[in-house]
Copies of this chain bind each other. A is one copy, B any other.
Amino acid sequence: MAADLVRGLSAPTIALIDPGDQGSLEADLYAALLVGRRLLRHPLVRSILPDLYTAIPREPALAEAMRPGEMAREKKVKALIDRAIARGELRADVDRRATTDLLIGPLYWRIVVLGERCDRRQLKQLAHMTAAAIAAGGLAPD
Q: Which residue of B lies closest to A48 (CB)?
A: B54
Query: When the two chains form the complex, which single residue of B97, B113, B134 contacts A108, counting CB atoms closer than 8 Å?
Result: B113
Q: Are B98 and A105 in contact (CB under 8 A)?
A: no
Is A2 engaged at the interface, CB distance under 8 Å to the other chain? Answer: no
Q: Are A98 and B102 in contact (CB under 8 A)?
A: no
Query: When the two chains form the complex, which single residue of B107, B121, B142 contacts A105, counting CB atoms closer than 8 Å?
Result: B107
Of A9-17, A79-87, A123-131, the segment with at least 4 beta carbons within 8 Å of chain B is A123-131
Q: Are B101 and A124 in contact (CB under 8 A)?
A: no
> Chain B residues with Cβ under 8 A from A51's Cβ?
50, 54
| A contact residues, total (Cβ < 8 Å) | 41
Is A56 engaged at the interface, CB distance under 8 Å to the other chain? Answer: yes
Q: Which residue of B lies closest to A107 (CB)?
A: B105
Is A5 engaged at the interface, CB distance under 8 Å to the other chain? Answer: no
Q: Are A126 and B98 in contact (CB under 8 A)?
A: yes
Is A133 engaged at the interface, CB distance under 8 Å to the other chain? Answer: yes
Q: Are B125 and A137 in contact (CB under 8 A)?
A: yes
A138 nearest CB across to chain B (Å) = 10
Q: Which of A97, A115, A141 has the most CB of B within 10 A?
A: A141
Query: When the two chains form the complex, which single residue of B108, B109, B128, B133 contacts A141, counting CB atoms closer than 8 Å?
Result: B128
Using a CB–CB cutoff of 8 Å, the interface residues on chain A facing chain B are 47, 50-51, 53-54, 56-57, 95, 97-98, 101-102, 104-110, 113-115, 121-122, 124-137, 139, 141-142
